[in-house]
Structure 1
Amino acid sequence: MDAHTGANVFQRVVVEPAYKAVSAAIERAIVDGALPPGAALPTEQELAERFGVHRSTVREAIRQVEQEGLLQRREGRRLFVCLPGVHDLAPRATRLLLLHQTTFQELWDVALTLEPLAARLAAQHASDDELALLAANVAATEAETRLPQLVALDMEFHALVGSASHNRALMLAREPVGLLYNPTLLQIFQRLPQASARNLAAHHHTLAALRARDAEAAAEWTRKHMVDFQRGFALAGLDMSTPIAQPT
């Protein structure tokens, strides 16, 4: 082996920027529980001394962690650890789905699994207060005639069912998918006058099953609801193979 061949064995060493190492260390402390929700983050000066870096490096690291939703400013400029909610994380996943040109068919395939599962679990775990919120949603839907508000109420109904499942993994998985139905459902309501009434009927049946604690019926009515959505998509002249649109 000559000198040139031996040199080709090695690759350039990539050194991670210091602020990334600091932000990773802060995130690790939060995720591991060393810094629990509500705990105050040490000051920039304290962190700079502990990590042996400049305050500007710490400042950039903190900015990265803030963008992840793990820190929030309270009491002036002091930073505290916070627990991101489903609604904080979902928009990021939604953007990824949009950037990857995810189609409505792909979205529906996932929803056909997630939504009936949410209803099944909600029938088993929903509290009386959660059932009351669902009943109020259905009552508001009955009284509403404006299409954008009907779409918002539909999204709220499914979000309430997801929350009543008491399954955090499911809630995190379904929220980004649910957000992307908004513009499409509005188009279906606009093009098919009967669609909103069918939507309301499905919610009535699902709510009745949830109140009866009938997990199988709740899942089946939700499955029928999703199949009806796909049928409405086709009847409205929409193409399931097209990429999803930005929510409005």
Structure 2
Amino acid sequence: MNHTLQHKVAVITGGNSGIGLAAAKELVAREATVLITGRRKEAVYKAAAETGTIPFIADQASLEDIEKLKEELQERFGKIDILFINAGITGGFASIADVSVENFDSVMNINFRGAYFTLSKLIPLLSDGASVVILSSIVAATYHPNSSVYQASKAALNSIAKTAAAELASRNIRVNIISPGPHKTEVMKKAGLDATTLEQINDQLVNSIPLKKMGDPADIAKLVAYLSGPEAGFITGSEIIVDGGMML
């Protein structure tokens, strides 16, 4: 048993699947008390039972839900030591000329606006010396056709993370960014792509990665834990890219 995060209170948005779920398992293994959020009640409660975490139903796109989350955390713990802002979606794929307002709003409301106000509303609960980790993506620095909204949402997220690192440094609160490349999660499946298309995309991605494999969410989880522990006490405002060499 790793005791590095004992007595720490951690919050993970979108903690019921993928990287969020892996992070929940890792932080619990290091003896943190972990609360996970998500939109789907059944999935959140199942994940909580699986990981020994505390479930809370909240949509990151909803300012009302963010406020309720803040109230719950204030009442239950009175503090947060680790905040992992992880929830996000890719949205649909379309050119700038064809993108719908609905798709734009859906992606931005979760990935940027929701993440921004999750951080904003929870800052008063952050302990001095707390760690904030924000999940971005290597797409923040890419310009692939038909992915403009998703890419822009992550680029905006990176910008506010660095500003937050500067603003919160006086309280020794560290804010860091993890930008994964392709990992074995269901994020693309949630975008509505069929199995054949997903397999083709996965094959193309693996061929474009120097290490010739997809990433494992468990590795991102270990990085979240590291950035949240005492060993990373001098790291803030950093973006750590985990992509198997894809951006070389």
> One fold, TM greater than 0.5?
no
TM-score range, shorter chain: under 0.3
TM-score normalized with structure 1 length:
0.22
